[in-house]
């Protein structure tokens, strides 16, 4: 799915269209603050809904007080689960980049950025676990800054937000779906890239690849898709 499709679906289901993340009413302030680890976050600050980290701090402060069933403060969760899904069309003459690795093929992903279907869905899984807007809202494909951008930029921002919220990766399990080419020669390179971007040990980063039995666009070498599930743990 393209970023614009995801964004338009979101707005159809919830709020009126907004031009960018800077004006979205539900954007938590977690996206705004500068951090020591990344002095120049990609997203700008805007006071709004408490982020998981802020909520956690509030819960700690309130722990000795009466817990109200009507409290709007989310519970302090020791774990958070997130799921990501992405799909891109394959078109002749474009590079096929998966997990930051250039895969030799006769076609590649049509996308505003580098079309890295795996990194896009990992980013969405992390953002989803944090209860944040999706990748299409944070990095809209209407923003010229992201034209042709390496998706590692999105990954590093998602990881920064995860740490800023007070979480670290528990484990990640990803599944790539494509008919061609075979990914087995590239799996370890892709996994190593994921581990480096996530700052994670290989033992908690799993990657699987499947064909689509030659049916539908995935099986006819016309698209590529990926699913990712992450478990985040409070630090
Ligand atoms: Zn994508």
Task: Please give the distance, rounded to the nearest whole angstrom, from the Cα atom of residue 108 to the centre of ligand 1.
Answer: 12
Alpha-carbon separation of residue 231 from 6, 63, 106, 124 (angstroms) = 23, 25, 35, 13
In the reported structure, the alpha carbon of residue 136 is separated from the centroid of ligand 1 by a whole-number distance in angstroms of 8
Q: How far is the CA of 124 from the centre of ligand 1 (A)?
A: 9
Average pLDDT, the chain: 79
Q: Which two tokens stand for residue 158?
A: 């998602």
List of residues 6+ apart from 36 with CB closer than 8 A? none
Residue 37 pLDDT: 40
Q: Other C-beta atoms within 10 Å of 52: how many?
A: 25
C-alpha to C-alpha distance for 172 and 154, rounded to whole angstroms: 17
State the pLDDT at residue 169. Answer: 98
Query: Could you tell me the distance, in angstroms and rounded to a whole number, from the CA of residue 88 to the centre of ligand 1?
Result: 6
Q: What is the pLDDT of residue 41?
A: 62
CA of 219 to the centre of ligand 1 (A): 18
Per-residue model confidence (pLDDT) at position 231 = 98
> Are 107 and 89 contacting, i.e. CB atoms less than 8 angstroms apart?
no
Cα of 72 vs centre of ligand 1, distance in Å, is 33
Q: Tell me the per-residue pLDDT of 40-59, one tens digit each, with 9 for 90 and over.
A: 566 543 333 344 444 433 33
CB contact at 8 A, 216 and 85: no
Q: What percent of the chain has pLDDT over 90?
A: 62
The CATH classification number of 79-234 equals 3.30.1330.50
Query: Helix, strand, or coil here: 53?
Result: helix
Distance spanning both ends of the chain, measured CA to CA? 32
pLDDT at 70: 52
* Centroid of ligand 1 to alpha carbon of 1 (angstroms): 6
Residues 17 and 140: their CA atoms lie apart, in Å, by 12
Instruction: Give me ligand 1 centre to Cα 147, in Å.
Output: 13
| pLDDT at residue 2 greater than cutoff 60 | no
Cα of 115 vs centre of ligand 1, distance in Å, is 5
Cα 161 to ligand 1 centroid, rounded to whole Å: 19
Higher pLDDT among residues 32 and 99, named by residue: 99
Would you kindly state where each structural domain of the chain is located, as residue ranges? 79-234
pLDDT above 70 for 39: no
Say if CB 30 and CB 164 are below 8 A apart. yes
Ligand 1 center from residue 96 Cα (angstroms): 12
Distance 163 CA to ligand 1 centre (A): 23
112 against 156, higher pLDDT? 156
57-76 pLDDT, tens digit per residue, is 333 334 444 444 455 666 78
What is the whole-number distance in angstroms between the Cα of residue 87 and the centre of ligand 1? 6
Q: How far is the CA of 58 from the centre of ligand 1 (A)?
A: 35
Interface predicted TM-score (ipTM): 0.99
d(CA 52, ligand 1 centre) in Å: 25
182-191 burial by CB neighbour count: b if 16+ within 10 A, else e? Answer: ebeebbeebb
Q: What is the mean pLDDT of residues 179-197?
A: 97
* Distance (Å) from CA 119 to ligand 1 centroid: 8
pLDDT at position 145 over 60: yes
| Greater model confidence, 5 or 137 | 137
């Amino acid at each position: 799915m393209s970023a614009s499709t995801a964004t338009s679906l979101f707005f159809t289901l919830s709020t009126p269209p907004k031009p960018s993340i800077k004006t979205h009413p539900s954007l938590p302030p977690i996206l705004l603050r500068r951090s020591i680890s990344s002095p120049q976050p990609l997203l700008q600050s805007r006071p709004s809904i408490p982020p998981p980290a802020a909520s956690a701090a509030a819960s700690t402060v309130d722990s000795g007080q009466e817990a109200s069933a009507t409290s709007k403060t989310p519970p302090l969760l020791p774990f958070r689960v997130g799921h990501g899904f992405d799909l891109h069309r394959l078109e002749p003459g474009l590079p096929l980049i998966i997990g930051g690795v250039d895969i030799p093929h006769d076609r590649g992903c049509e996308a505003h950025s580098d079309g890295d279907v795996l990194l896009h869905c990992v980013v969405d899984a992390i953002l989803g676990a944090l209860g944040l807007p999706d990748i299409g809202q944070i990095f809209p494909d209407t923003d010229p800054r992201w034209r042709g951008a390496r998706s590692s930029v999105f990954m590093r921002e998602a990881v920064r937000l995860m740490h800023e919220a007070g979480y670290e990766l528990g484990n990640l399990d990803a599944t790539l779906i494509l008919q061609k080419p075979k990914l087995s020669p590239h799996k370890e390179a892709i996994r190593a890239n994921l581990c480096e971007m996530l700052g994670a040990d290989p033992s908690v980063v799993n990657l699987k690849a499947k064909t689509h039995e030659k049916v539908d666009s995935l099986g006819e070498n016309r698209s590529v898709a990926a699913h990712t599930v992450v478990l985040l743990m409070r630090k």
